[in-house]
Chains A and B, each alone.
Chain A
Amino acid sequence: MTDTAAPAAPAARPSPVRRAAGFWASLPLSGRVGLALVVFWVAAAIVGPFLAPYEVGAIVAPDVFEGSSAAHLLGSDYLGRDVLSRVLSGARYTVGLALAAAVLASTIGTALALTAAVSGRWVDEALSRLMDAMISIPSKVLALVMVAAFGSSIPLLLLIAAATYVPGAYRIGRSLAVNLNEMDYVQAARARGEGRFYLARVEVLPNMINPMLADFGLRFVFVVLLLSGLSFLGLGVQPPNADLGSLVRENTSGLGDGALAVLMPALSIATLTIGVNLLIDALPGRARRVQGEP
């Protein structure tokens, strides 16, 4: 969101590095941990595959479910493939796909919610009933049908995951926006003669952004679970490629031995989702602290 009408700062705008440092300093400890984890996983998703020591699908270890060694830092999986390489390439799918799907779902949901709130009753009714209809379709069954009809592909998975979580984001966004829409300051802006787009963007959105971000963190975890579920059914990311969810699934037989092959992808999912949520939870607190300063 660009803040075009931000108060003109008397001094020149600080450099991006300065601002990033300021942002870091303003975060509580949990937020810094979250930010570090998120930055780490985004970096892993971007440059990971180039750093991977082995081909993703290559069987390179002499034994399955090996422990950590110099050649294979995170051991080997159920076929003797290198776990580190597979986690690094899996991160690209999970972070890319799940993050993209969650961003898409939350953005579309919020945009539709704002539209419904500031438009008339008919638009609101139509959108809400459409979303109710979408909620009533079981997401896994829809995914099965879509994959069966079109074959599994990354864009299709993205579309399915986003479509599944738009209604939830819409519901939450609409209830927030409808309440905010009745606030006196929105009425004042309306009486001033502002357009609908302005009302939604400038008056309503800034006041619902924090709960929507918290909701986004939740959606992100849901999408990771949905994609992992699809992979479990063999309909997600197709072998030999694998997202983190399918890495856990394909190595479950090593669970009894506590193999790194199953623990590391699980740990990766955990750190990623916890990191996203820690960071988001710290954001509203940050707003409060800035407000509290004289």
Chain B
Amino acid sequence: MVDHVRVSGLKVTAPGDDDRPVTIVHDVSFSIPKGEVLALIGESGSGKTTIALALMGYARGGCRIAEGSIEVAGTDVLALNAAQLGAYRGATVAYVAQSAAASFNPSRTIMDQVTEPATIHGLLSRADAEAKAVELFRALALPDPDTIGRRYPHQVSGGQLQRLMAAMALITDPALVILDEPTTALDVTTQIEALRVFKKVVAERGATAVYVSHDLAVVAQMADRIVVLRHGEVRETGLTDQVLHAPQDAYTQTLMAAARPQVRTAAAAEATAAPTPLLEVRGVTASYGRVPVLQDVSLSIARGSTLGVIGESGSGKSTLARVVAGLLPPSAGTVLLDGAALPPALARRSREQLRRVQIVFQNADTALNPAHSVERILGRPLELYHGLKGEARERRVAELLDLIRLPAALASRRAGELSGGQKQRINLARALAAEPDLILCDEVTSALDTVVAAAILDLMAELRRGLGVSFMFISHDISTVRAICDEIVVLYAGRKVQAGGREAFSAPPFHPYTDLLVGSVPEMRRGWLEETAVREARKAAPTVAPGLCGFLDRCPVRIQGVCDRLPPPRVRLAGSEVLCHRSEEDLSTRPSLGQRTSRPSPAPST
């Protein structure tokens, strides 16, 4: 079969220091037969997006396609002039970006923007384009396909916007579709729906696609072939099954190992049945203005143990950390440290109380002051809490850098000069500098590549063993939480819907929402997406009726006349407690997943 897309000897350069070009993509070659999906995977900086953009004949600011040839459906892309490129892009090759929210123009209707590629190239009349758009909306399982085009981008959810962007890309029936991390910014429960429709639409239309991702499990669902990239070089190319289950290259093996969360709990952590837990949160309710974000949440963390808090975006998990840290005084409830109530407001807490609870923010890019050096960032808590000055302070900073495995020479660098992984380590080290009893980690690994994230998790496990620090680990990723936490709390719409030990989360009974979360995490094998039963695409807005179950609208096992009338009771089950009307028996059968019964099994070890 003749290759539909052929890339050979591609080399892309970027301007380096002293204006000498630096090669960022080295001699990359691959080809895609018609109708196949090729995945480009690698960590950030591996050149995967650069290659994807090169397929459109585009190089980012300052970059240049220096060598090689790119042929898409018989067109020699690099020989096109500016006008021909204009005609080529959008019509022959289409691009779906990572952040649909940033790619739509907020002041124009969705229909205007979705039909634009077809009308701008004169491929379809406006009326035909609209008819085709509606057809695509239907194929992409969007709600109200006939009228959704009249809305503006802010009136639909993030997952829907991502699918609308796919509609925009497919409206010209392009010879090649490039999907650049299209689901990375979505919650797992939303991601699975987006993946399903992407896969269906690509298969139905026989489209040829390039799928760019760092997530192996997602790629396993989507791709026929995989190209593994590192530092702009191809490390391995092969069919999906071969790369996933019998990787040849050492780097691919590392990547596979890092993608599988290993259990990293401290050795039993000697919870020693201390009478009072280190931290106790009792019936906390908090709100921003009038919008309630947390409702009656209680939990406790024993000394030296790790509590995982999971939930999707908007579930109130970050707010919980802010309440504990004192950044947001709760409207009801108390936070107790070692059995003594902490004042709700920051200004009333003593320096010692502040020292004992440290918060690590999600995004290390914004959590470190770009104007400050590492020495200053780490030195400030030492000075503030421990009164260290001069040489003693310098020595301690060097010790901290050593603890987080960074060279001492980094101390004089500014935050902006560090890589993402280095920043996150410094972010963690700043909390450690205070020598706290409890560290609140807000999504500390979600912005990092798998290999780097695995290193951070290892580091945290080591710190727990070495220093006996307790962690509250906030995440949307249930597999990570299951791997590192002793106890887990699931939040939905500001309420605790399930709480229990780690073991309770490896097998039912689950709360229906936990069940949805667990079932939505892609597994690293082909066919998982097809096996997982289709869920109703319901509107994701949590129910606001006071007292009633927040999950009501999305719940597949709700009981008419009970769930929509009475507040759910808190029931004790084996190993955990849930907020649900259903009995333990009902919840044990995982009804929401229908026929699927297989447990997430650890993939064969490498």
List residues of A whose CB falls within 8 A of some B CB.
5-8, 183-185, 187-194, 202-203, 206-207, 291-292
Which of B355, B376, B394 gathers the greatest number of chain A CB atoms within 10 Å? Answer: B376
Across the interface, do B373 and A193 meet the contact criterion of CB distance under 8 Å? no
* Interface residue B412 (Cβ < 8 Å from any Cβ of A): yes
B interface: dominant SS: helix
Of the A-B pairs whose beta carbons lie under 8 Å apart in the complex, a sample of 10, sorted by A's number, is: A5-B376, A6-B376, A188-B359, A188-B361, A190-B327, A193-B346, A202-B372, A206-B371, A291-B414, A292-B17
Q: Which residues of A contact B376 (CB under 8 A)?
A: 5-7
A217 → chain B closest CB, angstroms: 21
C-alpha gap A191/B430 in the complex (Å): 12
- Bound state CA distance, A207 and B361, in angstroms? 19
Most buried by B among A5, A192, A194: A192
Instruction: Tell me the smallest distance from the CB of B170 to a CB of chain A, in Å.
Output: 38
Known: A5-B376, A187-B361, A188-B359. Contact between A291 and B327, CB under 8 A?
Answer: no
Task: Please tell me which one of the listed residues B326, B349, B361 contacts residue A184 in the complex, with CB atoms under 8 A apart.
Answer: B361
Residues of chain A within 8 A of B379, CB atoms compared: 5
* Cα–Cα distance between A7 and B327 once the two chains are bound (Å): 30
User: Is B354 in contact with chain A by the CB < 8 A criterion?
Assistant: yes
Query: Min CB distance, B287 to chain A, in Å?
Result: 17
- Render B352-384 as a binary contact track against A, CB cut-off 8 A, 1 for contact: 001100110111001111111101100111001
A252–B327 Cα distance when bound, in Å, is 62
Residue numbers of B with Cβ under 8 A of A are: 17, 325-327, 346, 349, 351, 354-355, 358-359, 361-363, 366-373, 375-376, 379-381, 384, 390, 394, 411-412, 414, 416-417, 430, 434
Across the interface, do B375 and A185 meet the contact criterion of CB distance under 8 Å?
Answer: no
- Shortest C-beta distance, B489 to chain A (Å), equals 21
| CB-CB nearest in chain B for A3 | B376
Instruction: Give Cα A192 to B353, complex, Å.
Output: 10
A188 and B414 form a contact (CB under 8 A): no
Q: Return the 8 tightest CB-CB contacts between A and B, nearest first.
A: A206-B371, A193-B354, A184-B367, A184-B361, A185-B369, A184-B366, A7-B375, A7-B373
- Total CB contacts across the A-B interface at under 8 A: 65
Contacts of A203 in B (CB 8 A): 369
Binding site secondary structure of chain A = helix
A191 with B327: CB separation less than 8 A: yes
Kindly identify which residue among A5, A6, A191 contacts B359, using a CB–CB cutoff of 8 Å: A191
Inter-chain contact A188/B394, CB cutoff 8 Å: no
Does A190 lie within 8 Å of B346, measured CB to CB? yes
Q: Complex Cα distance A218/B370, Å? A: 26
Chain B residues contacting A190 (CB-CB under 8 Å) are 327, 346
A193 B384 Cβ-Cβ under 8 A: yes
| Closest partner residue, chain A, to B370 (CB atom) | A207
Find B369's partner among A192, A207, A292 (CB 8 Å cutoff).
A207
Name the residue of chain A whose CB is nearest to the CB of B433: A192
A8 touches B354 (CB 8 A): no
The residue among B361, B362, B369 with the most chain A CB atoms within 10 A of its own CB is B369
Q: Tell me which residues across on chain A come within 8 A of B417, comparing CB atoms.
A: 291
* Chain B residue nearest in CB terms to A8: B394
Chain A residues whose CB sits within 8 angstroms of the CB of B17 once the complex forms: 292
Contact call A291/B416, Cβ cutoff below 8 A: yes
Q: A7-B375, A291-B417 known; A191 and B326 CB under 8 Å?
A: yes
In the bound assembly, the distance between CA atoms of A190 and B412 in angstroms comes to 24
Q: How far is the CA of A164 from the CA of B164 in the complex (A)?
A: 51
Q: Whole-angstrom distance between the alpha carbons of A49 and B376 in the complex?
A: 47
Indicate if the CB atoms of A192 and B381 lie closer than 8 Å.
yes
| A residues less than 8 Å from B375 (CB atoms) | 7-8
Q: Which residue of A lies closest to B349 (CB)?
A: A193
Q: Which of chain A's residues have a CB closer than 8 A to the CB of B430?
A: 188
Nearest CB of chain A from residue B321's CB, rounded to whole Å:
10
Residues from chain B with Cβ under 8 Å of A188 in the complex:
359, 361, 367, 430
A207 to chain B, nearest CB (A): 5
Interface contact B366-A185, CB-CB below 8 Å: yes
Distance between B357 CB and nearest chain A CB, rounded to angstroms: 8
The answer to whether B354 touches A191 (Cβ under 8 A) is yes
A192 touches B384 (CB 8 A): yes
Contact B366 A7 (CB under 8 A): no
Contact A185 B367 (CB under 8 A): yes
**Also in contact, A207 and B326, with CB within 8 A (given A7-B411, A194-B384):** no
User: Nearest-CB distance from B19 to chain A (Å)?
Assistant: 13
* A residues less than 8 Å from B412 (CB atoms): 7
Q: How far is the CB of B545 from chain A (nearest CB, A)?
A: 32
Closest chain-B Cβ to A117's Cβ sits at a distance in Å of 15
Contact A191 B367 (CB under 8 A): no
Closest residue of chain B to A187 (Cβ to Cβ) is B327
Instruction: Give Cα A203–Cα B363 distance, bound, in whole angstroms.
Output: 17
State A183–B370 Cα separation when bound (angstroms): 11
CB distance from B509 to the nearest CB of A (A): 38
Residue from A8, A184, A187, A207 in contact with B371 in the complex, judged by beta carbons closer than 8 Å? A207
State whether A185 touches B354 (Cβ < 8 A).
no
The listed residue (B325, B390, B394, B411) touching A191 by CB distance below 8 A is B325
Instruction: Point out the residues of chain B lying under 8 angstroms from A194, CB to CB.
Output: 384
Other 13 A-B pairs with CB < 8 A, given A6-B373, A192-B381:
A5-B376, A7-B373, A8-B390, A187-B327, A188-B367, A189-B369, A191-B346, A192-B380, A193-B346, A203-B369, A206-B369, A291-B416, A292-B17
